[in-house]
Structure 1
């Protein structure tokens, strides 16, 4: 969800500060200032803490039963486990029951308190740049990409069980006030390594990917999960390739396919990645994207190598500029 793209001053000018409804999280009250995003079972609110007047974001998740509740609380746990400057922290949370007339389903509500980033997401920044157009400088985009890799390393190198984010995309990367990227939305995060032993397990993972992993950033092995396959954190490496492409050219290579109404799945499994003829970026960046987006996941590098490759290109570009 892209729910941090609003400017507080813009909201005031638009007259959106119009409600005194509040949310309590562990005896601290937050006034709702705007509903920024809302879906089937979750909503995102821009809020203000009553005493400090500081702005935050609250993610509200409605849980229909114990399984939903377990998944929602797991998202909170991942925020706690994955502490890093390039990963969004969960500042506080609360779980409460909601009265329901249904005798079959118990309903609970999870509230997650998150920082508010006035600059919004990389996706928002790229949309502004595309209109001008104003491509990022090679050095600037590689600095951002290396920091994103630093955050993803925390997922992939987690012990005892490596984790995968599973939904890396430009709208899930915030920009802090100093321009540093911050990875958000851990709702799709799960153990990275999955062994597929039968049709039921293959279908389960495929269904999970279709609902949790954005189609234009989804790795090819998640479109048609095979029996006896081993899925690992290199699904994220493919998504990082799509993200790096978007940093260069405003969108994932498959966003253009999706917008035309053509089959993204067919485009992904074809493995054909095209670069604009007038690309302002060096071949080294093109080659890095291609290395991350190998159809066979066994041919993709792991995150430490990805970061090293990106940092080496950045070092070379910095040296060429200084010379």
Structure 2
């Protein structure tokens, strides 16, 4: 029951007719077999050569017409810029949620855009960070923030709900932090008094340090924030701190840190930028440590690093160090001392002394002499552990940090000329 054309060469050259007798479907060959007809094969080949290009051409033409027909609709729609399958939120829904991005819902204006509050159709409260696309750096900022936020998961780092990106519009959709920024709490409008007590400030410092330690050492990619300051620390409904605004961040893969120079490091905020960036030093995690140290000193003194009182050669760290450790009452925020009773004053001053010391060590001129964020977390844990059993004005909520240790000793400070921190048990 063989069928098809019998070849003429090779093993078939000596083929005997008796060997294929009875296979009526065979043709060709040198044996006396009927000739093979190739007409059907030729017709099929011609059909393929004609039909396939025609079908492909029609498909391309159809796709082109569809793209042209829906181009306007596409330009006004949103596609997620985060490849982690976030919920899709249309441009029209964002317009509806923010009242058409009205001034009434404007939360603030930054270097690369504006932030609006809104409510989605499912009643979720959101903050919409709309990029200013006229700024050539806004596109890069949007890309950096998306790349950073889609890779990090920590309770003290802002989470992202979704993103919206098309030719005319780019925005990040974030959870709304009803208590605003740390900046707002440190410097209330109309000259109001700061309502953060010492316990609050110690807790906030710990939460920021935990988030930064995660970004630097425990995330599967290393993230350098590069713009840590009170305005970029948000406080949620429960007053938990969240590190936000990753528009200037760098993501480090493997050993790629050496390739990062300070070419654009000075794009951070004045007063918080590490001094080595101004003289061509490499971008590193120690730059974030410096910014964190400035934030700590600002949190305790309520003095901005850009305060007009700083004359040439004097800045916030140097001014604080001039009063350390014997005259720290002259630099710390008065409300931290007013609320303390006489019997508690020595304990409060001890806590403040150790707290300020962390800020001073983080703001050393040389990045090699600064601690890393894991050391800072350990140091803050020691301070918190030492003061957990002190009077109510210093008590810390136990549910805030899972890292509190069992130490109860109070450590005295031996700073010297800003040498490495050392402790002695008293």
TM range (shorter): 0.7 to 0.9
CA–CA distance in structure 1, aligned partners of residues 310 and 358 of structure 2: 28
* DSSP 3-state at the match of 1:223: helix
The CA deviation at 1:84 is 1.1
Cα deviation 1:82-110 (Å, max 9, x = unaligned): 11111111110121013xxxxxxxxxx32
Establish whether residue 78 from structure 1 lines up as the match of residue 148 from structure 2. Answer: yes
CA–CA distance in structure 1, aligned partners of residues 159 and 170 of structure 2: 16
2:306 to 255, 259, 276: 255
The CA deviation at 1:150 is 1.1
* DSSP 3-state at the match of 1:57: strand
User: Could you tell me which residue of structure 2 aligns to residue 300 of structure 1?
Assistant: 370
CA–CA distance in structure 1, aligned partners of residues 157 and 214 of structure 2: 9
User: Could you tell me which residue of structure 2 aligns to residue 91 of structure 1?
Assistant: 161
CA–CA distance in structure 2, aligned partners of residues 160 and 140 of structure 1: 30
1:195 to 258, 279, 283: 258
C-alpha spacing 1:269/1:52, structure 2 compared with 1 (3 Å): closer
Higher alpha-carbon Rg: 2
2:227 to 149, 152, 167: 167
User: Could you tell me which residue of structure 2 aligns to residue 58 of structure 1?
Assistant: 128
User: Could you tell me which residue of structure 2 aligns to residue 13 of structure 1?
Assistant: none
The CA deviation at 1:160 is 5.6
2:355 to 285, 288, 303: 285
**Contact in 2 for aligned 1:139/1:314 (Cα 8 Å):** no
Establish whether residue 242 from structure 1 lines up as the match of residue 294 from structure 2. Answer: yes
The CA deviation at 1:195 is 3.3
User: Could you tell me which residue of structure 2 aligns to residue 6 of structure 1?
Assistant: none
Deviates more, 1:29-38 or 1:275-284: 275-284
Equivalences for 1:207-222 in 2 at 5 Å? 208-211=264-267, 213-222=268-277
* DSSP 3-state at the match of 1:287: helix
Higher relative contact order (CA 8 A, sep 6+): 1
CA–CA distance in structure 2, aligned partners of residues 286 and 40 of structure 1: 31
User: Could you tell me which residue of structure 2 aligns to residue 126 of structure 1?
Assistant: 186
* DSSP 3-state at the match of 1:319: coil
| Number of equivalenced pairs | 275
C-alpha spacing 1:268/1:23, structure 2 compared with 1 (3 Å): farther
CA–CA distance in structure 1, aligned partners of residues 220 and 89 of structure 2: 35
The CA deviation at 1:140 is 2.4
Equivalences for 1:7-46 in 2 at 5 Å? 26-28=88-90, 29-30=93-94, 31=96, 32-33=98-99, 34-38=105-109, 41-46=112-117
CA–CA distance in structure 1, aligned partners of residues 204 and 317 of structure 2: 29
The CA deviation at 1:255 is 2.6
Structure 1: give runs of 5+ residues left out of the alignment.
1-21, 99-108
Q: TM-score with structure 1 length normalisation?
A: 0.74
C-alpha spacing 1:27/1:126, structure 2 compared with 1 (3 Å): closer
Cα deviation 1:266-308 (Å, max 9, x = unaligned): 5459955345543344311121211111111101101100010
C-alpha spacing 1:184/1:134, structure 2 compared with 1 (3 Å): closer
CA–CA distance in structure 2, aligned partners of residues 249 and 35 of structure 1: 30
* DSSP 3-state at the match of 2:245: coil
CA–CA distance in structure 1, aligned partners of residues 292 and 199 of structure 2: 17
Task: Give the CA RMSD over aligned residues.
Answer: 3.2
More strand by share: 1
